[in-house]
Structure formats: C-alpha cells, structure tokens
Chain A
Amino acid sequence: MPTGYATLDRPSSKLVLARYQLILRLMLSLPALALALMCAATGAKPAEPIVLRTEAGRFSLRLTDIERPERVNHLHGFELSLITVDGRPATSASIVITGQHRYALNPLPTSPQVQPGPADGTYRIEGLRFHVAGEWRLVFAIEFEQIRDRATLDIVVK
C-alpha cells in the first residue's frame, strides 16, 4: 500500500486528527448555520440571485429581489433578467407565470403580470400571491424570437 494512505481498519493518527478538526469546525460553524436559519425564518432576502436554466437550455433566468422564504398571503414581486443561450439579453419576450401548490394543487390566487424592466432583457414581476403555506412550483413559459422554453422554480412559502 502506498505511503500516506490509510485503511478503514486502521486509521492513521493524522487522519484521526483530521476527523477531530472536521468535527470541531462543524461545531464552530453551527452558530453561523443557526444565524442563517434565523434569517430564513424572519424572511430575510439572500444577497445572491437565483439563476435558472430553461428545460431545453435555450434561456437562463436570473431572479433578484425575491424573498426566501416567501410569506403566505402577501403580494410579492421580483426582478427577472432573461438571457439567451448565446448570451444576449432577451428583450420583449413573452413570459407567462403560472404556479401550483405541490400538494393542495391550488393554482395561484392571482394573475402575476410581467412588465418590461429598465435594462435590456429585464422584467419586473408583480402580483404574486401564495394563499397556502408549503411547497409551490412556479412555471415560467417563455417565448422569444419564435423559440419556446420553460423554467420551473420550487419555492417554500411560510
């Protein structure tokens, strides 16, 4: 057996030490994890946008200003930027958003509307309401330059 490798039967002292260090790091990271969970519970928004790729890979969507988790019975909105597979902003695309609760099977109680945003390929989504807590699936049906594709986003509503 090459030097430096350890078997599962007889772990080397270095490997044992590494395991303890890993456990210690995990314990130290717990407060940070708890803080992250608290942020989620209080409806804090992530700094990072959500990036989705459509089913056939023809577009990518970048969602910003979206609450995670979404709150039940509030009107929500967010920004969407749409990029084609060759990296162009997709301006004046047709975007239709539908949604369904994963278990109750209720559709969205509102009709979200998509308005052009300030920059090329950007859009403002308004009028999204979830009236039941739990898991929802949003579907973005996109049509641009005679190309149709869909993207889905699973979200948890609290």
Chain B
Amino acid sequence: MKKSFLIAVLAGLAICAVGPAHAQSAPEWTAQELEILRSLTLSSLPKLPPDPTNKYGDDPRAADFGHRLFFDTRLSSNGMIACTTCHEPERDFTDGKQVSIGVGVTPRNAPTIIGAAHNIWFFWDGRKDSQWSQALASLENPLEHNMPRDQAVEAIRSNPDLSRDYVAIFGILPVSSDRDGVNRAFSNIGKAIAAYERRIMPGPAKFDRYAEAIFAGRQPAPPDNLTLDERQGLHVFISDQLGRCLRCHNGPLFTNQHFHNIGVAEPTRQDLEEGRIAGIETALADEFNCTGKYSDARPNECAELNFARRNSPELRGAFKVPTLRNLLKTGPYMRIGSRRTLEDVMWHYRTLPIARVGQSELNDLPITSTEFDQLEAFLRTLDGPINVPPKYLRPPETAKVN
C-alpha cells in the first residue's frame, strides 16, 4: 500500500514538473479553432479531380495549346484582346481595373484565375458550370473578345501553327458550314484554355506556413509568424460571434462556392442585375453546360447542375463568393470593382449598404474599428505565390501578343 502511494506521489510530481513548461507556452488556439485553421490551410485543398466535362483537361498538349490561346490576341475581333488582357499573370491573373475593358467596357471586375479550377460555378452570377464554357462566353461576348464561334474556329484554321496543334490534339477542323462541327471545335478551344487554366493554383501563403508550424507543434519561423494583429484578425475571422467570415469564406480557398447578397449596388438603375437567380437559369439553358452534347460528362456526373437551387428569393441579387487568397494584387474588389482597397472592403462591412436588388444578408458585426483593422491585417497574410510551371506565366513564343 505504501509502495503504491509512493508511486502515485512520484507520478504526480512528474506531472507537476512537466506542467509549468506547458503553462509557459499555453496554446493560443483551442482544439476547435485548430480544426478550423486546418480546414483553411492549403494542405487541406484536395488534389484537383479530373473535370468530367473536359476529357482534355489534364492533357499536357491541350494545356500547352491553351497557353498559346490564352495569350493570343488573334482570338478577338480587333486583334488586340487576349485572355491576358483581363487576366494578367503579373497581377495574379486580374487586370487592376475597376471593370474590365475588352473590345468594349464590361460591367464586371475580373476575378483571379488562381485556383479557379476548383470552382463549381463561373462568372459572378454562376451562369457557367465549367471553366471551358466560361472561356467560350468571354470569347463571344461583344464587350470582351467579340469573337463569334465561327470566326474563332476560322482564326485557328487560318494559322498554320495553331491549326497544326489543334488537329494533333482534337482531330480535323470542321468546314464552316458544319454548325455542329463548329460548335464542337469552339468547345475544344475552350477546353484547351481550361486545360491551361487548371494548372494555375495558389502557393502557400504566410498564413499557411504559420498554421503548419502550429500543427507541427513548433514555433513559426520569424517571417512566417503572424503578428499579434494578424493573429487577432484571424481570431475575428474564424469566430462566429465576431467576424462570422466563415459563413461565406470557408475552406482552403476561402469561399463556400455559393452566392450571397451583400448589398454591392450597381451605380445606376440600368445596371441592376438579378444575380444568381437569373444566372442558374442561364446555366441550365446553356448548350455548353455539363449535360449538353459538347460536354464529355455522363448525365450522372452533372450533380451540381442537377441539384442546383432555383427560384429562391435569397438568390436575387446574390453573387458568387470570391476567394480571399492573393488579395494584394487582385484589387479593386467586389464584382463591380466598387471597393478600391481592402480598407474600403472593410468599410463595406461596417456600413452595410442596402441592396438595390433582393435583400442583403449582412448584419451589424459586433467588432470594433481595431478589430476591423486586424481583420484586414490577417487577410494580407493570405497572399502567396502562384503554383504553376514558370513557362505558363510567360507568353509562349508563337503567340501573337500586343
């Protein structure tokens, strides 16, 4: 009995001896918070699955061809607009403008392409359900490339290099009178561009490096250690009592892939848009959607389209939640570029503008001015490199670039 008492006392002393060391470095994050942090880190981003609608999506030849097309101004009616006009690699695949300028002035701010291959819906109102069909809409839009599909296919045919590469990947080019063949070739152009875009992924940001160090139980290295303000901002970000940011900006890409109305108001009544409630109807009617004849998917692989929510009041004036990664080079912000800086974005959430279409979901947040500043400081830690083969950040030698 005495012996077991002694063992118990020794064990207790051992625990006490270990205790103060832990107490000195008391964990800043609870187990629940650590679980949230893990869900936000880039290492939680799953490997990009194949796109069932695009059988060329992971074909390196298609990616190289798409790279050429992405930089090529010949795919525009005035010979001056390429995909890179609005998605410049140097600006993290945005253009730095309030709204994008193609052949005409568009009503939209260009979102980044980094990580976009993980998106479910494309365009701010989600009127496209694949990356390749999004590219097609931009090519044909009179304000963007203004390149009707038959002219786009003709632009490929008339260039020996482009037509040679096209035929090597997709087979023969159709004659212009073959409408279905032209549509098929046009869809292949989009699929090649998407094959290139799928390679453009986010690299680890300061936040990711900080979180990985914490998970590994070590002190983050000085350049990776979040400052006190950044950590406080992270606290605000993940707290459902404070910032409530995770309700829309969750997961490793900081988007829930859905559509919300946050009262971003167009400048004039003529510009008002219905948002997702109209976008989903356009997507369902789109000949280039997942279930269409130009998609490579089987009908049972189109779950997102088949189960999409429709005709619901909260979809009026609702637009897609953008990623929060790589914010430093991707301003201005919001779908119409109405917020020039991150500070302006914070101001939006402090002033809670009333929606002009539908009803804003935003509520008054119980956070102070200092906490808004800290939130902004945290958002800056989400800036990271682009994870892409370097050759894909430069114009290909054979493309016509202005």
Contact = CB atoms under 8 A, between A and B. Distances in A.
A129 B36 CA distance: 19
Contacts of A18: none
A75 B309 CA distance: 13
B53 interface: no
B240 interface: yes
Contact of B247 (A41, A104, A111, A113): A104
A133 B309 contact: no
Nearest to A109: B258
Contacts of B248: 132
Contacts of B155: none
Interface stretch (B181-189, B249-257, B373-381): B249-257
Interface string B246-280: 11101100001111000000000000000000000
Interface residues of A, number: 23
Contacts of B251: 72-73
Determine chain B's interface SS by DSSP, over half rule.
loop
Contact of A108 (B240, B256, B309): B309
B303 A73 contact: no
A124 interface: no
Contacts of B39: 72, 133
Interface string A106-143: 11111111000000000000110101111000000000
B314 A126 contact: no
A13 to B, nearest CB: 16
A73 B240 contact: no
Contacts of A127: 303, 306-307
B293 interface: no
B307 A73 contact: no
A126 B312 contact: no
B329 interface: no
A73 B308 contact: no
Nearest to B321: A131
A112 B307 contact: yes
Given A73-B250, A73-B256, A111 B244 contact: no
Contacts of B246: 132-133
Nearest to A134: B240
Contacts of B240: 103, 134
A126 B240 CA distance: 29
A75 B307 contact: yes
Contacts of A158: 35
B256 A126 contact: no
Nearest to B260: A106
B181 to A, nearest CB: 35
A131 B306 contact: no
B257 A111 contact: no
Contact of A106 (B257, B307, B314): B314
A132 B256 contact: yes
B256 A110 contact: no
B235 to A, nearest CB: 16
A41 B256 CA distance: 20
B310 interface: yes
A129 to B, nearest CB: 7
Nearest to A132: B247
Interface in A140-158: 158
B307 A110 contact: yes
A127 B309 CA distance: 10
Contacts of A133: 36, 39, 246, 250
A106 B308 contact: no
Given A41-B35, A131-B257, A158-B35, 16 more contacts: A72-B256, A101-B247, A104-B244, A106-B247, A107-B309, A107-B312, A107-B314, A108-B309, A109-B256, A110-B309, A111-B309, A113-B306, A126-B303, A127-B303, A131-B250, A131-B258
20 contacts: A72-B250, A73-B256, A75-B307, A101-B247, A103-B240, A104-B244, A106-B247, A107-B312, A109-B309, A110-B307, A111-B307, A111-B310, A112-B307, A113-B307, A126-B307, A127-B307, A129-B307, A131-B250, A131-B258, A132-B256
Interface of B: 35-36, 39, 240, 244, 246-248, 250-251, 256-259, 303-304, 306-310, 312, 314, 361
